[in-house]
Structure formats: structure tokens, C-alpha cells
Amino acid sequence: MHLNLASKTAVVTGASRGIGLATVRSLTEEGVRVVGAARTITPELEQTGAYAVSADLSTAEGVAHLMDRAYAELGGIDLLVNNVGAGDDVEPVGFLDTDDAQWARIFDLNLLSTVRASRAALPSLVERRGAIVNVSSVNSRLPAAGPVAYSAAKAALAALGKSLAEEFGPQGVRVNTVSPGVVRTAIWEDPDGFGGRVAAGAGAEHAAFLQRLPEAFGITTGRITEPQEVAALITFLLSDVAGNILGADYVIDGGTIKTL
């Protein structure tokens, strides 16, 4: 299958690791000129050949800095992947333990970063008849599976994708959402990250906790998703091969969600 992406330009947020890094690699392998953004630029991102921009995308100033640099480097934007999200400071706590500052921080990173980046990119995307993929989560459909503010932000992100598809689809811009389940990223694998904190809260050893994740989440395939599998889906949705797919929300979770 030829995706015909070699002449395109792209911006990928949350690009330093995990799904974002895998997406940058997938796009650059297809010949796309990529600007990859993250708060911290990793050696792995630099090695992809993408133009790396350090920016705090939880702030309006950070998104504006990124998009200014992207336009200067690329001249225009064909593709936008709004992948930044979660955040290392998300805590596995309940509703009553989540204060206003935490709600604001989580929504700034998981929702408003996408609002701001999309608003800045859309004039170019309309001109070039481009595409957006927003990375949400199965938490948007299984809100009890994670911290309440994170689940609510991801549900709002999925709704935003539908709205943007309806408004800008007639102008030639395709907007779709990808909702992964558990993915093999630092969020789960870092002993000091979210997964490590969940394991500690359950009184479990981290390595044993990771081994039990597929069973705990009811993953039919018996394994968690790899970042490159999500990246492959994102890359397909950005390509003209998916030219009549818009407003969709693709779940990639190994069968975690059992309902229609």
C-alpha cells in the first residue's frame, strides 16, 4: 500500500517518547518533513531527523511558540497529530482528591493544547486540504478506568474531534481520533511514573504489576499495545488512502472494550 505522504509536512506533539516518537519515526520513514514538539527533547527524537522544538504545550505561550517555529521551518502544515497528553504528574486519585489546580493542569495539557494547536494549524490545513489526528484514550469510553479529570479531558477531546470534522470536513480537512488502551510507554513502564504509583497503591511489585496488566484490563489478545502499532494507525489515517474517513474514533486496545 502506497500512502503517498512523501511531499507532506507534519507537526507531532508529545513527540519525545512513546506514541509520539513512534509516529514521528513512521512519518519520517514515509518521507514526511516533521516538526516534533515536547517539553524535553530526547536523543531518540533528535535521531529521527525531525526538527525538534522544546515547548510546554500545557500553556498558550508554548503552543504559540511551537506553531511559529513549525511555520518557519515547514512553510505550511499538511498534517497535525495532537498526541501530547497524560503528563507525568497525573496521580491515581479519586474525585475528592483532585483539586481545581489539577483539573486545570490536566485539561490544559490533554484538551486545550489540541484546541490551540488546531486553531493555529487550520488556516494552512484548509488551504492544503490536510488532516488532523487527535490521540484520545479508551478512558473516554471507560471513565472509571482512570483518574476522573484525565478521563473527562479525553472524552472532551473525542467530542472536539467530532465537532472539528463536521465544521472543517466540507472544507477538505479530515479530522479523526485514535483511542488507545494500555500502550507500552513510560507512563506504565517507568517505576516512578503513573504505572509505578498505581502498583504501589495496590501494594504490588511494579514488574509483577506490568505482567498482570493484560488480565487486569481484560485485554482479549493477552498483551498490551506497542507504540508503533498506534503510530501505524495514525499514519494511515493521515494519508490519502483514508481519504473518506473523517469524524471517526478508532479504538486500538486489544479488545479491552467489550461493548458496541
For the annotated catalytic residues, the residue numbers are 150
Q: Is residue 213 within 8 Å of 145, Cβ to Cβ?
A: no
In the structure grid, which three cell numbers stand for residue 153, read together?
A: 479531558
Cβ(56)–Cβ(14) below 8 Å: no
Q: Can you tell me the distance from the alpha carbon of 136 to that of 133, in angstroms, rounded to the nearest whole number?
A: 9
The set of residues, in sequence order, having a beta carbon less than 8 Å from that of 208 and lying 6+ positions away, is none
Q: To the nearest 10°, report the CA torsion of 188, 190, 193, 198.
A: 50
d(CA 151, CA 86): 10
- DSSP, residue by residue, 24-47: HHHHHHTT-EEEEEESS--HHHHH
User: Which of 160-196 are b and which e, b meaning 16 or more Cβ less than 10 Å from the residue's Cβ?
Assistant: bbbebbeebeeeebbbbbbbbbbbbbbbbbeeebbbb
